[in-house]
Chains A and B, each alone.
Chain A
């Protein structure tokens, strides 16, 4: 299990994950209009 995980999360996958996050960020950049978090008001 540990070996599979290590193979899964190598530097290359982290790069891929990073790229995904950037793409998602670009997609939602203009539609980010969620209500405020309740507990950030305290």
Chain B
């Protein structure tokens, strides 16, 4: 989101509140979220793709709802109105091609209206048939999950993404030789897919609350949280969405405060830190280890202020709409150990992995005929969870190494704290020494995390290794 995007969203929310107060909130949220899916998508070099990818986001979302909803709840007036609204909005967005040569709502001029209408017709027919003929079966849910994971991998692994780009280019009649992994930047895909997977898993385990098509879509593509989270839980989001009390003065104040804090964090602090933070471009130019450390620490500050600023803005805007999005950060750099750091950094992502990966894996390893020992289970679950979190960021060696860095770090810290707990208990009688160990732990944790960001910030493993060596005078 740019500053303009944020201000326009804030303006529209306030205008809605002034004119309609609370009337038609569900429709307002869905309509604006659908527009946001197209509007926030960055322009892409492949012709038409910046229109087709947002449309695919909507298609996958509708498919997710069809698969997770029992047939008796699929009909109903509200669902039909939602489907009609979706089709109308997409057609209207496509029709803006006659108003502008560069695209009004979309990043570039939308494709031919007739082509869009024909594709919508095919999708509607397929969706209608699916809704009529199928039930939410375990096999269907699993198949959809597998497809989502495969698409996710195809987009995240640069070599596969390049192949995909080449395919799209030849389809669009463009030069295949210029295909690149960054051709397919699909806005918000990582977040939407994770919410989608949460609903599929919750359906499998019977925890998913009944949701109308409108509420389900709003949950997946809710515009403040569309591009960078937080990743809410379906049942929590639904509770707020169905609440009909308009926000009071206190909510405007807290929401507004969050918005201002978020804008300050991003556009003042993070953008200033970006000038000196470690990057692929400046890593080779910085000579002295001291300045290199400064660049690494600036990157640690940059990524925190950038991301937590975004979260503040999302939470602030949502608060004005009566939705209390979950927190994503709770002073992570002030925590005395790595476990606590991860309990307070990008919290909604780690909670997602805990609920849908870590806990089931732990249960599987500890149960069954041949249960593993506790230490083995901790090692496998922590390292594999963080490998997955690394992969979520991107399928490159650097993200895998970053995941491994934290997975192993957590395992070592877990073993150490088991060993040290009884010994440190003796320090309770000496509060000053105790405080000193906490401060030392906090500093150590910060530097461990900051060093980890080197893998994260730099494009190649060679460059990251070189920077780490040079940080220690090598």
Interface residues of A (CB under 8 A from B): 2, 5-9, 11, 14-15, 17-18, 21-22, 24-25, 28-29, 32, 34-35, 37-42
* B228:A25 contact, CB within 8 angstroms: no
| A2 CA to B251 CA, complexed, in Å | 11
* A25:B11 contact, CB within 8 angstroms: yes
* A39:B15 contact, CB within 8 angstroms: no
Chain B residue nearest to A18 (CB atoms) is B14
* A34:B266 contact, CB within 8 angstroms: yes
Within 8 Å CB of B50, what residues of A? none
0/1 per residue, B376-388, Cβ < 8 Å to A? 0000000000000
* B14:A14 contact, CB within 8 angstroms: yes
Q: How far is the CB of A34 from chain B (nearest CB, A)?
A: 5
Residue from the list B3, B11, B229, B253 in contact with A39, Cβ < 8 A: B229
Chain A residue nearest to B227 (CB atoms) is A40
Q: Can you offer 23 A-B residue contacts whose CB atoms are under 8 A?
A: A2-B249, A5-B250, A11-B18, A14-B17, A18-B18, A22-B11, A25-B8, A25-B11, A28-B3, A28-B7, A32-B3, A34-B2, A34-B267, A34-B271, A35-B271, A37-B1, A37-B227, A37-B228, A37-B266, A37-B310, A38-B306, A39-B229, A39-B307
Residue from the list A11, A17, A24, A41 in contact with B185, Cβ < 8 A: A41
| A14 CA to B1 CA, complexed, in Å | 23
| A2 CA to B229 CA, complexed, in Å | 31
CB neighbors of A among B10-32 (8 A) = 10-11, 14-15, 17-18
CB neighbors of A among B217-271 (8 A) = 227-229, 248-250, 252-253, 256, 266-267, 271
Within 8 Å CB of B398, what residues of A? none
Within 8 Å CB of B250, what residues of A? 2, 5
Chain A residue nearest to B18 (CB atoms) is A14
Given A6-B248, A40-B228, A42-B394, CB of A18 within 8 Å of CB of B11: yes
Q: How many residues of B contact A (CB 8 A)?
A: 37
Interface residues of B (CB under 8 A from A): 1-4, 7-8, 10-11, 14-15, 17-18, 185, 187-188, 190, 227-229, 248-250, 252-253, 256, 266-267, 271, 274, 302-303, 306-307, 310, 392-394
Residue from the list A9, A17, A38 in contact with B303, Cβ < 8 A: A38
* A5:B253 contact, CB within 8 angstroms: yes
Chain A residue nearest to B304 (CB atoms) is A38
| A29 CA to B8 CA, complexed, in Å | 11
Given A32-B3, A34-B2, A34-B266, CB of A42 within 8 Å of CB of B190: yes
Indicate the member of A17, A18, A28, A37 with the most B CB atoms within 10 Å: A37
Q: How far is the CB of B446 from chain A (nearest CB, A)?
A: 18
Within 8 Å CB of A40, what residues of B? 1, 187-188, 227-228, 310
Chain B residue nearest to A17 (CB atoms) is B14
User: 6 shortest A-B CB distances, which residue pairs?
Assistant: A9-B249, A5-B249, A39-B228, A25-B7, A18-B14, A9-B252
Residue from the list A6, A21, A34, A35 in contact with B14, Cβ < 8 A: A21
| A14 CA to B15 CA, complexed, in Å | 8
| A28 CA to B5 CA, complexed, in Å | 12
Within 8 Å CB of A8, what residues of B? 249, 253
Within 8 Å CB of B4, what residues of A? 25, 28-29, 32
Indicate the member of B8, B14, B188, B256 with the most A CB atoms within 10 Å: B14
Chain A residue nearest to B247 (CB atoms) is A9
Within 8 Å CB of B266, what residues of A? 34, 37
Indicate the member of A8, A15, A42 with the most B CB atoms within 10 Å: A42
Within 8 Å CB of B249, what residues of A? 2, 5-9
Q: How far is the CB of A25 from chain B (nearest CB, A)?
A: 4
| A13 CA to B124 CA, complexed, in Å | 45
| A11 CA to B246 CA, complexed, in Å | 13
Given A5-B249, A21-B14, A25-B4, 9 additional A-B pairs, CB 8 A: A6-B248, A9-B249, A18-B15, A37-B1, A38-B307, A40-B310, A41-B185, A42-B190, A42-B393
Within 8 Å CB of B229, what residues of A? 39
Chain B residue nearest to A21 (CB atoms) is B11
Q: How far is the CB of A14 from chain B (nearest CB, A)?
A: 5
Within 8 Å CB of B187, what residues of A? 40
| A40 CA to B393 CA, complexed, in Å | 10
Within 8 Å CB of B267, what residues of A? 34
Within 8 Å CB of A39, what residues of B? 228-229, 306-307, 310
* A35:B274 contact, CB within 8 angstroms: yes
Within 8 Å CB of A37, what residues of B? 1, 227-228, 266, 306-307, 310
Chain A residue nearest to B189 (CB atoms) is A42
Within 8 Å CB of A29, what residues of B? 4
